[in-house]
Amino acid sequence: MGEPEKTKPLSKEFARAFGDGCSGLVETCEWCGRLYFGTGGDYEKDEREKYEAKAEKDPDNFIAVDDFSSTLMLAGKTYVVDCPCNGPWRYEEWVWGQRFRILKYIQARSRIILDDAVDLKKLLDEVIEKHDKAEATVAAQEDRDG
d(CA 127, CA 92): 47
Q: With CB under 5 A, what is the number of residues at the site for Zn ion?
A: 6
d(CA 46, CA 98): 48
15 contributes a contact to Zn ion by CB under 5 A: no
| Residue whose CB is less far from Zn ion, 59 or 132 | 59
Q: Which of residues 46-65 bind Zn ion (CB under 5 A)?
A: none
Beta bridge partners of 144: none
| Residue whose CB is less far from Zn ion, 31 or 51 | 31
32 contributes a contact to Zn ion by CB under 5 A: yes
| Residue whose CB is less far from Zn ion, 25 or 30 | 30
> Which candidate, 60, 120, 66, places its Cα nearest to that of 85?
60
Residue 25 sits at the vertex; the CA angle it makes with 18 and 32, to the nearest 5 degrees, is 60
The residues of the shown chain that bind Zn ion, judged by CB under 5 A, are 29, 31-32, 83, 85, 87
